[in-house]
Amino acid sequence: MISSKQVESTSPSLAYCSMVVAIYIGFVVLLNVLFDVMPRSYIFGHEFTYADMAVGGIYVIRDLAQRAIGHKVIYAMILAAILSYVLANEQVALASLSAFAIGEIVDWAIYTYTKKPLSQRILLSASISSPVDSAIFLGMIGLLAPFEFALMTTVKILGAITVWGFSNLHQYKLKNRSINLSSQ
């Protein structure tokens, strides 16, 4: 029978790792460029950009990249920051780097020091690092306001809940498959 620790520790292929890291870097750069070029919109009198609503995807992809390459995800973050600095507004790139660095340190600590299953680490990580990341990023680009902070943080946490749901579903399917194989 396959244990949940064995499921979690299986090594992904080099192709998968490369793909996830490339998507992560590309998505970070894309969002930083969008924060720079997208016009501001208003909902109920509160300013935001549509990029605010896409930020949750970074947490989903970063969690997959962290799972695929471990602590080396920091190198992907640094490369994304350098590319953002070149391609986006310098203030947005610096805010992104600062927010990601602090968010990544929080995530790294949670992933490293908690021995909880991956699905629980995803939720714990998002609930702590998302508000910190959002406040730092929005504050540094001069857009820290309650609505935008709540929107950005909520979208990030929803992204983490999505990963959590898929992770639990995947583990459930693997456990049922091993139960079925062992009973034959």
Lowest average pLDDT, out of 9-13, 82-86, 102-106, 120-124, goes to 9-13
Structure tokens at 62: 């970063």
Q: What CA–CA distance (Å, rounded) separates 16 from 120?
A: 23
Q: What is the pTM for the complete model shown?
A: 0.72
Q: What is the mean pLDDT of the chain?
A: 82
Q: Which distant-in-sequence residues (6+ apart) come within 8 Å of 94 by Cβ? A: 85, 140
Quote the tokens at residue 3. Answer: 């244990």
DSSP class of 39: P
What is the residue whose two structure tokens read 């391609």? 87
Listed in sequence order, the residues at least 6 apart from 152 whose beta carbon sits closer than 8 Å to its beta carbon are 52, 55, 134, 137, 138
Handedness of CA 35, 134, 102, 10 (dihedral sign): negative
pLDDT exceeds cutoff 60 at 7: no
Q: What is the mean pLDDT of residues 62-71?
A: 84
pLDDT digits (tens, 9 = 90+) for 135-151: 999 999 888 988 889 98
Q: How far apart, in Å, are the Cα atoms of 84 and each of 1, 4, 67, 137?
A: 46, 38, 23, 14
CA distances from 9 to 69, 104, 113, 129, 170 (A): 12, 21, 16, 24, 14
The closest of 69, 122, 124, 125 to 25, measured between CA atoms, is 69
Task: Give the pLDDT of residue 168.
Answer: 73
Q: Which domains are assigned to the chain?
A: 4-182 (1.10.1760)
- Tell me the CA distances in angstroms from 138 to 70, 86, 96, one per residue in order: 28, 20, 9
Distances (CA, A) of 181 to 8, 145, 159, 169, 175: 19, 54, 33, 18, 10
- Categorize the per-residue pLDDT at 96 as very low, low, confident or very high, splitting at 50, 70 and 90: confident
Q: With left for phi above 0 and alpha for psi between -120 and 50, is residue 48 left, alpha or beta?
A: beta
